[in-house]
Structure 1
């Protein structure tokens, strides 16, 4: 398929798709050097900034690699799986272990950065989780995730917030399956309520070490159950 000029907008997406098709179609085999940005911009009839963004996207997909002073080279002809795909395909226990690393750090940051609005949101989330315990399993898991989301939000770090959001779809189904296996009943005491309340109180009083310890212990208990099923 010959490389040619692009139609207007969205130019970056079009440029990325066009160059990716050239690579996956064998026009540029592994090891070959792509034409310079200026040449690609002229051929595609776009600006160099558009080409630069397209090359960044291709590098993110694992197809090309920039080498200082040498140019951009093809390193693969099949795009790598993106983060979301890898999470969906991973075992829930593996995802949970990474979740622990993210959330414990988030809890410690939350203790240092929380504001009054965050504290109110945390108390409301814990109350919602307590109210949902013993009822519909899906609703309980959603309330549990909302509680943890409030902790991450209180850290005021958009990267941590984004990472946690990526975990949620995988975690949700894994936790629903776990709650089903545990067989929580309406008459059972609220699952994990003491640990979550201790976590919120630690964040509220600004005790980062205690907040991290509370969350680590709470998540470790759930991870142990996941390993056991």
Structure 2
């Protein structure tokens, strides 16, 4: 269809200049009389709603830029309410979508899989001094989460701080005590099963001394001793290790 304003003007001109009825002109031009009269009565300038919409878009754009392109529709709506605007969050979200404005989402908080617990942790035997003067003096360990195509996988490691050698490791689908025990068991076996007095330290500054026939793991709120043969000793579950 041609420009509606031009069609309305042409139909009106035919009536004024040649006396042709509006109905005839509308029929020739393929438009209805109802459409013609509707457009004829339409205001020439923008409507009140269009003016308000334009002002709203201007304020939303200003508030969004002022926030460093970070505010979303809820926060901008609060600012608009403070200025006296009567507008809903849904309307603000619709306007922002039309303008291509998208607030920056806050970073997702990582859910921790470890906790301190109510029991007192073992005494720190390292004091942030991570220089070992000989092998089997200070070991450190940690747990790492690995994303794979089949799901999450966890890796527990034990490193000797003197040589920086990886002494033991274990991988599994569960972030639990058994995985840590397996990595520390491998480390003890790597050093021949005799590691009298070596300190095992985790990054949360919890450490314990490892004795010839027992090895305690701390920092994960449990202790599981064994000897070089891998035979587990009877130990109360979820107890903190001590020297």
TM-score (norm 1): 0.27
Q: Which has the larger radius of gyration?
A: 2
Structure in which a larger fraction of residues adopt helix: 1
TM-score (norm 2): 0.26
